[in-house]
């Protein structure tokens, strides 16, 4: 799967949860969604993309959420 596509999908999830008034709840929502619906391979790939700084438009909620995965 293409790096930008993975980031776009994660950003869409984060866009949904950013409406939550509690930041911690939003982060938990993103990480919970990624754990529940994404394969381990996809989660590892997203973390690698973020760690390597390959793509700079990763939503902050995604960055916060992958720390807990």
**Are 35 and 43 a contacting pair, CB within 8 Å?**
yes
Question: Phi-psi region for residue 44, left (φ > 0), alpha (ψ -120 to 50) or beta?
Answer: alpha
Q: pLDDT digits over 51-69, tens only?
A: 998 888 999 999 999 998 8
Nearest-angstrom CA–CA distance, 4 and 44: 14
Give residue-wise pLDDT tens across range 16-36.
Answer: 999 999 999 999 999 999 999
Q: How far apart are CA 2 and CA 62, in angstroms?
A: 17
pTM score of the predicted model? 0.92
69 close to 34: Cβ distance less than 8 angstroms: yes
């Amino acid at each position: 799967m293409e790096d930008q596509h993975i980031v776009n999908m994660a950003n869409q999830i984060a866009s949904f949860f950013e409406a939550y008034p509690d930041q911690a709840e939003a982060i938990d929502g993103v990480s919970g969604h990624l754990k529940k619906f994404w394969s381990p391979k996809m989660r590892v790939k997203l973390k690698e993309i973020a760690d390597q700084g390959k793509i700079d438009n990763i939503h902050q909620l995604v960055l916060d959420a992958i720390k807990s995965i």
